[in-house]
Amino acid sequence: MSNGHADPKSIRIPDGHDPADVFERHRAELERSRRAATLLYGGLFVLALAAAVYISNFYPDKLAAGVPKIGDYIYDILPVLDPALLFAGTKTEGSIAYWYFNLPKYLQLLAETINMALFATIFGAFGGFVLCFPASRNLAPNGWVYFLCRRYMEFCRGVPEVIFAIAFVWAFGIGPLAGIVAIAIHSAGALGKLFSEVNENVDTKPMEGIRASGGSWFDEIRHGVVPQVLPNFVSYTLLRFEINIRASSIIGFVGGGGVGQELYYVINFNFYEEVSALVLLIVATVTCVDLISERVRHRFIGRENLVRENLA
């Protein structure tokens, strides 16, 4: 029947084998299976959420009762500052200098923390770089190597840094070495996974070109893959550096060196004012490093894009 906008002769009546009909049937089928999946996984999610609430005692009344107490501790660690004596010397109670009397030590520990993060990031990036090629589905020389590298990286990043640090404190003694090794291992696992995902999106034509000219697997990786993925690797490594700054300021809690050790000490001994002094300093440092490394990273990516556009 004609409704004005089409020639009725050109409309084929669907007879069950009509392409449009077949398509609609297929679509309805797909929609049904999708809806079933949504319901199933949605239901599982709600169940998991309920279990989490139950296990963690995440109840409104508990929250309401606990929130004011958060303020208590914060109030305790706040320094007593006297506006009139704010810029007096280290011996005068109520001055900033009195509050931060231990600043030289803090700064030294913060420098140590940043150094730990730096070394751990460098070693971790190196480890991730070595592991990521055999751990990429498209590059792995064989299934066994791929499987082993994947599992090894999972182990590296699956175990929390703090656990590694405890083990290494036993081995190397209290100090930054244990922290560096712990964070480096975790970074190697985390970066290796990110790197291998970059590798899996690589254009394989250059590799084929190198293989066809008599290059080995290492030649293919070195000349066919690395030039393509290196900018992304650098970007991820800088991002990891930001994360490692935070990690290395905590790792001292278990004896892994850096500012965390001092923080643990002042918290345990209830040196309230020193807790706030140290925490503020750590927050400021982490923020600074974050900002700087983000700038470097964006500049790097930006320059890459710029170069590409200019040449294209």
Question: Which among 226, 204, 74, 87 has a CA at the least distance from the CA of 137?
Answer: 204
Q: How far apart are CA 253 and CA 267, in angstroms?
A: 10
* Distance, CA of 278 to CA of 283 (rounded, Å): 9
Position 5 contacts other proteins (CB under 8 A): no
The Cα 114–Cα 119 span in angstroms is 9
The one among 85, 115, 154, 222 contacting other proteins by CB under 8 A: 222
Interaction between residue 143 and other proteins (CB under 8 A): no
- Nearer to other proteins (CB atom), residue 223 or residue 246: 223
> Helices marked H in 201-271 — which ranges?
205-212, 217-219, 226-250, 259-268
Cβ 229 to other proteins shortest distance, Å: 10
What the block records as the tokens of 203 is 């254009």
**How far is Cα 124 from Cα 184, in angstroms, rounded to an integer?**
4
Residues 147-206, interacting with other proteins (CB under 8 A): 203, 205-206
216 in contact with other proteins (CB under 8 A): yes
Report which DSSP code applies to 10.
G
Does the footprint of other proteins cover residue 211 (CB under 8 A)?
Answer: yes
142 counts as binding other proteins under rule CB under 8 A: no
Q: What is the Cα–Cα distance from 62 to 60, expressed in whole angstroms?
A: 6
Q: Is 102 helix (H, G, I), strand (E, B) or coil?
A: coil
The verdict on 227 binding other proteins (CB under 8 A) reads yes
Question: Minimum CB separation from other proteins for residue 203, in Å?
Answer: 8
Among 210, 282, 286, 289, binds other proteins (CB under 8 A): 210
Is 209 a binder of other proteins (CB under 8 A)? yes
Please report how close the Cβ of residue 211 comes to other proteins at its closest, in angstroms: 7
**Smaller CB distance to other proteins: residue 171 or 212?**
212
Please compute Rg for the chain using Cα positions. 29
According to the binding rule CB under 8 A, does residue 270 interact with other proteins? no
- Interface with other proteins by CB under 8 A: which residues? 203, 205-206, 208-216, 218-219, 222-224, 227-228, 311-312
